[in-house]
Structure 1
Amino acid sequence: MVDDPYRDVELVQLYDIDNPGGEDHAYYRALADESSARSVIDLGCGTGLLTRSLAGPGRTVLGVDPSRTMLDFARSQPGGDTVTWVFGDATVLPPAGTADLAVCTGNAIMHLAPDELPATLAALAGALRPGGVFAFETRNPAYREWERWTLEATHGERVTPVGRLREWLDVTEVADGRVTFDAHNVFPDGTDRVYTSVLYFRSAERFRQELESAGFTDVACDGDWRGGPVGDGSRLFVFRARRA
């Protein structure tokens, strides 16, 4: 993974404003309820907006993230004391084989480099009980969403809790499914806080192969949050799989 692009305390305050809960959060909450999950892992939990909503009576929730700044914010939010927060990546997951459900949301799985994905999936499989469910979403490379991340398409100004910001995205490299882009955040004093992210776009078939190699079965892939079919016009892949 690249260095934490969310290490700025001021900008982390804006994350939940920019990424409010919607169909995605409703999908994962319904999945937890439908599977009667009593133990849930949220890998790449970020600020924990979804993570906290998964917690409840009779259910334990573990939130794991490699950003200390995001975890500190998550702990400070209402309901933060209902979740166990752990700094790190998949290597910190307990290989107990007892969790009922694991999720990786907000396209967080796209931050994993090719050499990191197999070990991450294997760690998730080791943390889940036999028959336990792993669910995540990722962007469809055929949709070529990065082509919309231009100055002209993304530039904007707004008033935020940390002041008036001017913002835009700028893709700097596209190669072999890897997309590198800068997020510009210009503060009132003219300071441009630029954070670089790297995302890895993978086909549905590649994910299916990786999941099966890691010990998952019954792999299902939808083209949206409502169970629609996958096509080139599908912005997302929504995956579910069971530990064999």
Structure 2
Amino acid sequence: MLYDDPRLVALYDVLNPFAADTAFYLALAQSARHVVDLGCGTGLLACELAKRGHRVTGIDPSPQMLRVARSRPDGDEVTWIDGDASALPFVGAADLLVMTGHVAQVFLDDDAFLATLKAARRAIRPGGAIAFESRHPAARAWDNWTRERSSRCVSAPDGRAVEVWQERHAEPDPLSTGRVAFTTHYRFMPTPDAPEETLSAVSELRFRTRDELARLLTDAGFAKIDWFGDWNRAPVDEVSRELIAVAR
């Protein structure tokens, strides 16, 4: 698993800081008493929600990510569960369930994603909502997954410089397959105490169209879906980078 290595877990918040997506979900949760963060990662959103007075349950399959989450300020105010959607029957009714960080794209198989959406529907109280985002296939984000276009240098928490980039694997056009496999490389620069080292992790994501996502949500029992094309709640169009769904 990508985030089993503590060095990569330590980089996660550097690469995914508090940003417009975080603000979107915080605003969406304003009236929610109980929020479930499914695929909560290192707990940035979950802990911020707890800080603001919400009851929060954070669920993630990575013990390393949850270790970081528990150590955050307000982390002791969150109920953390090492697991996946199979834990939802045991967390109590939710007013809002979120899947952030493009978690929806990790489900390569429609049946697996539908099972998760059905579990979410059962976990959400009447009047509650599920919210998640998926990259819009029309934006062709994968075209930028080359070293030349994606490389960036960041500082790890211990101060070590790290170059990070993605390289998409050769395959048919993802617009026809719906899937993109790629490798993320982490090049740790040498220091007086450590040699240069590159870690690599292979991933695959599913890019679903709005119609495909809508069908799955409908099949899971959600009757009303609001769609946004960016974190400012703009409508979805052909140049939108995101497909953001809020379903009830």
Q: Which residue of 1 aligns with 2:212?
A: 206
Q: Which residue of 2 aligns with 1:7?
A: 4
Q: Which residue of 2 aligns with 1:168?
A: 165
Amino acid at match of 1:20: P
The answer to whether the 8 Å contact 1:97/1:129 transfers is no
Unmatched runs of 5 consecutive residues or more in structure 2:
none
Paired residues, what number?
237
Matched, 1:74 2:69: yes
| SS, match of residue 13 in structure 1 | helix
Q: Which residue of 1 aligns with 2:182?
A: 181
Q: Which residue of 1 aligns with 2:136?
A: 140
Q: Which residue of 2 aligns with 1:107?
A: 102
Unmatched runs of 5 consecutive residues or more in structure 1:
none
Matched, 1:64 2:65: no
CA distance in 1, matches of 2:126, 2:155: 49
Amino acid at match of 1:120: T
Moved more, 58-67 or 45-54: 58-67
Higher strand share: 1
CA distance in 1, matches of 2:114, 2:97: 16
Per-residue Cα deviation, 1:77-98 (whole angstroms, up to 9, x for no partner) = 1111011110111111126772
Higher helix share: 2
| SS, match of residue 29 in structure 2 | helix
After superposition, residues 35-54 of structure 1 pair within 5 angstroms as 36-54=31-49
Distance 1:6 1:121, change over 3 A: same
Q: Which residue of 2 aligns with 1:241?
A: 247
Q: 1:166: how far off? A: 2.6
CA distance in 2, matches of 1:119, 1:83: 25
The answer to whether the 8 Å contact 2:14/2:156 transfers is no
Distance 1:56 1:171, change over 3 A: same
User: Residue 86 of structure 1: which of 63, 69, 81 is its match?
Assistant: 81
The answer to whether the 8 Å contact 1:97/1:130 transfers is no
CA distance in 2, matches of 1:91, 1:173: 34
CA distance in 1, matches of 2:203, 2:53: 37
Measured on the aligned residues, the alpha-carbon RMSD in Å equals 1.6
Q: Which residue of 2 aligns with 1:18?
A: 15
CA distance in 2, matches of 1:15, 1:57: 23
Moved more, 64-73 or 164-173: 164-173
CA distance in 2, matches of 1:124, 1:53: 22
- Alignment TM-score, normalising by the size of structure 1: 0.92
Percent of residue pairs identical: 45
Per-residue Cα deviation, 1:101-149 (whole angstroms, up to 9, x for no partner) = 1000011111012231010000100111122111111100011000101
| SS, match of residue 204 in structure 2 | strand
Per-residue Cα deviation, 1:212-231 (whole angstroms, up to 9, x for no partner) = 10011111111111221211
CA distance in 1, matches of 2:154, 2:41: 23
Distance 1:129 1:95, change over 3 A: farther
- Alignment TM-score, normalising by the size of structure 2: 0.90
